[in-house]
Protein backbone atom coordinates (compact mmCIF):
# COMPACT_ATOMS: atom_id res chain seq x y z
CA UNK A 1 0.00 0.00 0.00
CA UNK A 2 1.39 3.35 -1.05
CA UNK A 3 1.05 6.12 1.52
CA UNK A 4 1.60 9.72 0.55
CA UNK A 5 2.53 12.10 3.34
CA UNK A 6 1.79 15.78 2.89
CA UNK A 7 3.22 18.16 5.48
CA UNK A 8 1.96 21.70 5.55
CA UNK A 9 4.39 23.65 7.77
CA UNK A 10 3.11 26.98 8.99
CA UNK A 11 4.23 29.27 11.79
CA UNK A 12 2.53 28.79 15.14
CA UNK A 13 1.05 32.28 14.88
CA UNK A 14 -0.54 31.68 11.49
CA UNK A 15 -1.78 28.23 12.51
CA UNK A 16 -3.32 29.62 15.67
CA UNK A 17 -5.08 32.28 13.62
CA UNK A 18 -6.63 29.59 11.45
CA UNK A 19 -7.37 26.96 14.09
CA UNK A 20 -7.59 28.74 17.44
CA UNK A 21 -11.36 28.18 17.24
CA UNK A 22 -13.75 26.80 14.65
CA UNK A 23 -17.31 27.83 13.97
CA UNK A 24 -18.29 24.28 15.02
CA UNK A 25 -16.45 24.62 18.32
CA UNK A 26 -13.65 22.36 17.11
CA UNK A 27 -9.96 22.81 17.71
CA UNK A 28 -7.27 20.90 15.80
CA UNK A 29 -3.82 20.30 17.17
CA UNK A 30 -1.28 22.81 15.93
CA UNK A 31 0.68 20.03 14.23
CA UNK A 32 -2.12 19.21 11.78
CA UNK A 33 -0.95 17.35 8.68
CA UNK A 34 -2.43 15.04 6.09
CA UNK A 35 -1.67 11.42 5.28
CA UNK A 36 -2.66 10.10 1.89
CA UNK A 37 -3.87 6.75 0.59
CA UNK A 38 -3.35 6.18 -3.12
CA UNK A 39 -6.30 5.36 -5.39
CA UNK A 40 -8.94 5.67 -2.66
CA UNK A 41 -11.80 8.13 -2.17
CA UNK A 42 -14.53 8.75 0.38
CA UNK A 43 -17.54 9.53 -1.83
CA UNK A 44 -20.63 11.49 -0.91
CA UNK A 45 -19.09 14.04 1.46
CA UNK A 46 -17.53 16.59 -0.90
CA UNK A 47 -18.75 20.18 -0.76
CA UNK A 48 -16.25 22.03 -2.98
CA UNK A 49 -14.44 21.13 -6.23
CA UNK A 50 -11.44 23.15 -7.38
CA UNK A 51 -8.96 22.99 -10.25
CA UNK A 52 -5.49 23.43 -8.75
CA UNK A 53 -2.04 22.79 -10.24
CA UNK A 54 -0.54 20.97 -7.24
CA UNK A 55 -1.29 18.67 -4.33
CA UNK A 56 0.23 21.21 -1.93
CA UNK A 57 -2.22 23.91 -3.03
CA UNK A 58 -5.15 21.53 -2.58
CA UNK A 59 -3.92 20.68 0.90
CA UNK A 60 -3.60 24.35 1.75
CA UNK A 61 -7.20 24.99 0.67
CA UNK A 62 -8.34 22.30 3.08
CA UNK A 63 -6.00 23.52 5.79
CA UNK A 64 -7.47 27.03 5.85
CA UNK A 65 -11.14 25.95 5.57
CA UNK A 66 -12.66 25.03 8.93
CA UNK A 67 -15.30 22.92 7.18
CA UNK A 68 -12.68 20.73 5.54
CA UNK A 69 -11.73 17.51 7.32
CA UNK A 70 -10.26 15.55 4.39
CA UNK A 71 -9.70 16.01 0.66
CA UNK A 72 -9.18 14.17 -2.62
CA UNK A 73 -6.65 15.12 -5.25
CA UNK A 74 -6.25 13.85 -8.81
CA UNK A 75 -2.89 14.86 -10.24
CA UNK A 76 -3.89 13.94 -13.80
CA UNK A 77 -7.07 16.02 -13.73
CA UNK A 78 -5.68 18.63 -11.30
CA UNK A 79 -8.94 18.16 -9.45
CA UNK A 80 -9.18 19.03 -5.75
CA UNK A 81 -12.27 18.02 -3.75
CA UNK A 82 -12.76 19.19 -0.17
CA UNK A 83 -14.71 16.86 2.14
CA UNK A 84 -16.64 17.38 5.35
CA UNK A 85 -16.09 13.84 6.72
CA UNK A 86 -13.35 11.34 7.49
CA UNK A 87 -12.98 7.65 6.77
CA UNK A 88 -12.68 7.00 10.51
CA UNK A 89 -16.31 8.07 10.83
CA UNK A 90 -17.38 6.01 7.82
CA UNK A 91 -14.86 3.13 7.87
CA UNK A 92 -16.59 0.97 5.27
CA UNK A 93 -17.14 3.80 2.77
CA UNK A 94 -13.57 4.24 1.46
CA UNK A 95 -13.54 2.85 -2.09
CA UNK A 96 -11.07 2.43 -4.94
CA UNK A 97 -10.76 5.08 -7.66
CA UNK A 98 -7.72 4.96 -9.91
CA UNK A 99 -5.81 8.21 -10.21
CA UNK A 100 -7.37 9.95 -7.19
CA UNK A 101 -5.92 9.91 -3.68
CA UNK A 102 -7.54 10.42 -0.28
CA UNK A 103 -5.87 12.68 2.31
CA UNK A 104 -6.74 13.13 5.97
CA UNK A 105 -5.23 13.74 9.43
CA UNK A 106 -5.77 10.04 10.25
CA UNK A 107 -2.63 8.04 10.81
CA UNK A 108 -1.31 5.91 7.93
CA UNK A 109 -1.72 2.73 9.96
CA UNK A 110 -5.41 3.55 10.36
CA UNK A 111 -5.79 4.00 6.63
CA UNK A 112 -4.08 0.65 6.11
CA UNK A 113 -6.69 -1.03 8.31
CA UNK A 114 -9.41 0.55 6.18
CA UNK A 115 -7.93 -0.45 2.85
CA UNK A 116 -7.46 -4.00 4.11
CA UNK A 117 -11.22 -4.18 4.58
CA UNK A 118 -11.11 -4.54 8.38
CA UNK A 119 -13.77 -3.00 10.56
CA UNK A 120 -11.99 -0.71 13.00
CA UNK A 121 -13.57 -1.04 16.46
CA UNK A 122 -13.11 2.63 17.44
CA UNK A 123 -12.61 6.03 15.89
CA UNK A 124 -11.21 9.38 16.94
CA UNK A 125 -13.58 12.33 16.79
CA UNK A 126 -12.96 14.68 13.90
CA UNK A 127 -12.62 17.59 16.31
CA UNK A 128 -10.54 18.13 19.44
CA UNK A 129 -12.20 19.29 22.67
CA UNK A 130 -11.24 20.88 25.98
CA UNK A 131 -13.86 18.95 27.99
CA UNK A 132 -14.92 15.34 28.46
CA UNK A 133 -18.58 16.34 28.05
CA UNK A 134 -18.00 17.86 24.60
CA UNK A 135 -16.21 14.74 23.35
CA UNK A 136 -18.97 12.52 24.76
CA UNK A 137 -21.59 14.61 22.98
CA UNK A 138 -19.76 14.21 19.64
CA UNK A 139 -19.69 10.41 20.07
CA UNK A 140 -23.42 10.31 20.88
CA UNK A 141 -24.19 12.45 17.84
CA UNK A 142 -22.87 9.65 15.62
CA UNK A 143 -24.58 6.84 17.53
CA UNK A 144 -21.51 5.81 19.54
CA UNK A 145 -20.18 6.30 23.08
CA UNK A 146 -16.85 7.23 24.61
CA UNK A 147 -14.89 3.99 24.76
CA UNK A 148 -14.76 1.96 27.94
CA UNK A 149 -11.44 0.67 29.24
CA UNK A 150 -12.09 -2.92 28.16
CA UNK A 151 -13.01 -1.70 24.66
CA UNK A 152 -9.69 0.14 24.40
CA UNK A 153 -7.85 -2.97 25.54
CA UNK A 154 -9.63 -4.95 22.81
CA UNK A 155 -8.88 -2.29 20.17
CA UNK A 156 -5.20 -2.33 21.11
CA UNK A 157 -5.05 -6.11 20.71
CA UNK A 158 -6.72 -5.76 17.29
CA UNK A 159 -3.93 -3.48 16.08
CA UNK A 160 -5.63 -0.07 16.23
CA UNK A 161 -2.97 2.56 15.59
CA UNK A 162 -1.40 4.78 18.24
CA UNK A 163 -3.41 7.82 19.34
CA UNK A 164 -2.69 11.12 21.07
CA UNK A 165 -4.01 11.61 24.63
CA UNK A 166 -7.77 11.23 24.13
CA UNK A 167 -11.00 11.38 26.08
CA UNK A 168 -12.58 8.02 26.95
CA UNK A 169 -15.38 6.94 29.32
CA UNK A 170 -13.58 7.84 32.57
CA UNK A 171 -14.00 11.63 33.00
CA UNK A 172 -10.95 11.85 35.31
CA UNK A 173 -8.38 10.43 32.91
CA UNK A 174 -7.27 10.28 29.29
CA UNK A 175 -6.11 7.26 27.32
CA UNK A 176 -3.27 6.77 24.84
CA UNK A 177 -3.12 3.74 22.56
CA UNK A 178 0.45 2.67 21.86
CA UNK A 179 2.08 -0.20 20.01
CA UNK A 180 2.31 -2.16 23.26
CA UNK A 181 -1.08 -1.47 24.84
CA UNK A 182 -3.08 1.33 26.48
CA UNK A 183 -1.77 3.86 29.00
CA UNK A 184 -3.86 6.23 31.11
CA UNK A 185 -3.06 9.76 32.24
CA UNK A 186 -4.68 11.65 35.10
CA UNK A 187 -6.15 15.10 34.53
CA UNK A 188 -5.74 18.03 34.39
CA UNK A 189 -4.59 18.38 30.80
CA UNK A 190 -4.81 21.81 29.21
CA UNK A 191 -4.52 21.05 25.49
CA UNK A 192 -7.62 20.10 23.47
CA UNK A 193 -7.96 16.38 22.80
CA UNK A 194 -10.02 14.13 20.53
CA UNK A 195 -12.53 11.64 21.87
CA UNK A 196 -12.25 7.88 21.39
CA UNK A 197 -15.68 6.71 20.21
CA UNK A 198 -16.78 3.07 20.22
CA UNK A 199 -19.68 1.27 18.61
CA UNK A 200 -21.70 -1.31 20.49
CA UNK A 201 -19.79 -4.60 20.40
CA UNK A 202 -20.87 -7.24 17.89
CA UNK A 203 -19.15 -10.22 19.48
CA UNK A 204 -18.59 -11.67 22.94
CA UNK A 205 -17.00 -9.42 25.58
CA UNK A 206 -16.33 -10.14 29.24
CA UNK A 207 -18.82 -8.76 31.80
CA UNK A 208 -17.97 -5.57 33.65
CA UNK A 209 -18.98 -4.59 37.19
CA UNK A 210 -20.49 -1.21 38.02
CA UNK A 211 -18.21 1.08 40.02
CA UNK A 212 -21.20 2.05 42.20
CA UNK A 213 -23.24 -0.10 44.57
CA UNK A 214 -27.05 -0.07 44.52
CA UNK A 215 -29.85 -0.93 46.92
CA UNK A 216 -31.41 -4.33 46.30
CA UNK A 217 -34.77 -2.76 45.44
CA UNK A 218 -33.28 -0.10 43.13
CA UNK A 219 -33.68 -2.04 39.90
CA UNK A 220 -33.88 1.14 37.82
CA UNK A 221 -30.61 2.36 39.27
CA UNK A 222 -28.95 -0.99 38.55
CA UNK A 223 -30.07 -0.82 34.93
CA UNK A 224 -28.86 2.78 34.58
CA UNK A 225 -25.51 1.84 36.06
CA UNK A 226 -25.04 -0.85 33.43
CA UNK A 227 -26.39 1.43 30.69
CA UNK A 228 -23.64 3.95 31.49
CA UNK A 229 -21.22 1.14 30.59
CA UNK A 230 -23.01 0.41 27.27
CA UNK A 231 -24.27 -2.77 28.94
CA UNK A 232 -27.20 -4.35 30.80
CA UNK A 233 -27.53 -6.52 33.95
CA UNK A 234 -26.28 -9.99 33.05
CA UNK A 235 -28.57 -12.97 32.84
CA UNK A 236 -27.49 -16.32 34.23
CA UNK A 237 -27.11 -17.61 30.67
CA UNK A 238 -24.75 -14.75 29.79
CA UNK A 239 -22.68 -15.39 32.91
CA UNK A 240 -22.48 -19.06 31.94
CA UNK A 241 -21.23 -17.98 28.50
CA UNK A 242 -18.65 -15.74 30.18
CA UNK A 243 -17.52 -18.64 32.37
CA UNK A 244 -17.13 -20.82 29.29
CA UNK A 245 -14.92 -18.10 27.78
CA UNK A 246 -12.64 -18.21 30.82
CA UNK A 247 -14.06 -15.27 32.79
CA UNK A 248 -13.85 -15.64 36.60
CA UNK A 249 -14.90 -13.41 39.49
CA UNK A 250 -15.13 -14.14 43.21
CA UNK A 251 -17.21 -11.01 43.79
CA UNK A 252 -20.88 -11.40 44.75
CA UNK A 253 -23.06 -8.95 42.81
CA UNK A 254 -26.55 -8.39 41.49
CA UNK A 255 -27.70 -9.67 38.08
CA UNK A 256 -30.81 -9.56 35.90
CA UNK A 257 -32.71 -11.96 38.15
CA UNK A 258 -34.42 -9.89 40.91
CA UNK A 259 -33.58 -10.47 44.57
CA UNK A 260 -30.59 -12.73 43.91
CA UNK A 261 -26.85 -12.31 43.79
CA UNK A 262 -24.20 -14.23 41.91
CA UNK A 263 -20.52 -14.81 41.34
CA UNK A 264 -18.67 -16.42 38.43
CA UNK A 265 -16.39 -19.04 39.95
CA UNK A 266 -18.17 -22.38 39.85
CA UNK A 267 -20.56 -23.90 42.40
CA UNK A 268 -18.24 -25.36 45.03
CA UNK A 269 -20.68 -24.80 47.92
CA UNK A 270 -23.96 -24.39 46.03
CA UNK A 271 -26.31 -26.84 44.36
CA UNK A 272 -29.82 -27.27 42.94
CA UNK A 273 -31.49 -23.93 42.14
CA UNK A 274 -28.47 -22.06 43.55
CA UNK A 275 -26.18 -23.48 40.87
CA UNK A 276 -27.08 -22.55 37.30
CA UNK A 277 -26.10 -25.34 34.87
CA UNK A 278 -23.56 -26.62 37.34
CA UNK A 279 -21.47 -23.49 36.92
CA UNK A 280 -22.88 -20.14 38.16
CA UNK A 281 -23.56 -19.83 41.89
CA UNK A 282 -26.56 -17.59 42.65
CA UNK A 283 -28.45 -17.22 45.92
CA UNK A 284 -31.78 -15.78 47.18
CA UNK A 285 -29.92 -14.24 50.14
CA UNK A 286 -28.32 -11.08 48.67
CA UNK A 287 -26.99 -8.24 50.77
CA UNK A 288 -29.03 -5.05 50.80
CA UNK A 289 -26.47 -3.13 48.71
CA UNK A 290 -24.13 -4.45 46.01
CA UNK A 291 -22.54 -3.70 42.66
CA UNK A 292 -23.97 -5.20 39.46
CA UNK A 293 -22.63 -7.65 36.87
CA UNK A 294 -23.15 -5.95 33.50
CA UNK A 295 -22.94 -7.71 30.13
CA UNK A 296 -22.01 -5.54 27.11
CA UNK A 297 -24.80 -4.84 24.64
CA UNK A 298 -24.64 -6.50 21.24
CA UNK A 299 -26.01 -5.49 17.86
Residue 136 and residue 86 share a domain = no
Residue 203 is assigned to a structural domain of this protein: no
pLDDT of residue 38: 83
Residue 90 is assigned to a structural domain of this protein: yes
Last residue of a domain, one of 54, 81, 115: 115
pLDDT of residue 108: 53
Residue 231 and residue 189 share a domain = no
Residues of the chain with pLDDT under 70: 1-33, 88-92, 106-121, 188-190, 200-203, 298-299
pLDDT of residue 200: 56
Residue 184 and residue 133 share a domain = yes
Residue 104 is assigned to a structural domain of this protein: yes
Last residue of a domain, one of 64, 97, 115: 115
pLDDT digits (tens, 9 = 90+) for 56-103: 889 888 888 888 888 999 999 999 999 988 876 665 577 889 999 998
Residue 281 and residue 213 share a domain = yes
pLDDT of residue 248: 94
Q: Name the nearest CA neighbour of 70 among 98, 30, 97, 36.
A: 36
pLDDT of residue 164: 84
HEC string of the chain equals CCEEEECCCCCHHHHHHHHCCCCCCCCCCCCCCEEEECCEECCCCEEEEEECCCHHHHHHHHHCCCCCCEEEEECCCCEEEEECCCCCCCCCCCEECCCCEEEECCCHHHHHHHHCCCCCCEEECCCCECCHHHHHHHHHHCCCEECCHHHHHHHHHCCCCCCCCEECCCCCEEEEEECCEEEEEECCCCCCECEEEECCCCCCCCCEECCCCEECCCHHHHHHHHHCCCEEECCHHHHHHHHHCCCCEEEEEECCCCCCEEEECECCCCCHHHEECCCEEEECCCCCEECEEEEECCC
pLDDT of residue 150: 73
Residue 185 and residue 276 share a domain = no
Residue 107 and residue 35 share a domain = yes
**For residue 276, what are the domain limits?**
208-296
pLDDT of residue 261: 97
Residue 14 and residue 95 share a domain = yes
Last residue of a domain, one of 198, 216, 249: 198
Residue 181 is assigned to a structural domain of this protein: yes
Residue 96 and residue 13 share a domain = yes
Task: Report the domain count for the chain.
Answer: 3
Q: What is the pTM of this model?
A: 0.46
Residue 173 and residue 153 share a domain = yes
pLDDT digits (tens, 9 = 90+) for 210-220: 989 999 999 99
Residue 37 is assigned to a structural domain of this protein: yes
- Integer Cα distance of 158 and 65 in angstroms: 34
Residue 135 is assigned to a structural domain of this protein: yes
CATH number at residue 240: 3.10.100.10
CATH number at residue 68: 3.50.4.10
Residue 282 is assigned to a structural domain of this protein: yes
Residue 74 is assigned to a structural domain of this protein: yes
- Integer Cα distance of 299 and 41 in angstroms: 28
Residue 110 and residue 25 share a domain = yes
Amino acid sequence: MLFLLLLLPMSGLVTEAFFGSHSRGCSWGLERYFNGVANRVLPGHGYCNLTLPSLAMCGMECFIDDRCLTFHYSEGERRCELNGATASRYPMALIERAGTDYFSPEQPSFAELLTNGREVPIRLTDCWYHTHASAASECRRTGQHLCLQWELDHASKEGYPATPPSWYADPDSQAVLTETGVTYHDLPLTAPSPGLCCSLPMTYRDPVITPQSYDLADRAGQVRGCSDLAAHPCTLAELKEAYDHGYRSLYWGYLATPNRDTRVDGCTHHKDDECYQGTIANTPRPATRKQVYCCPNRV
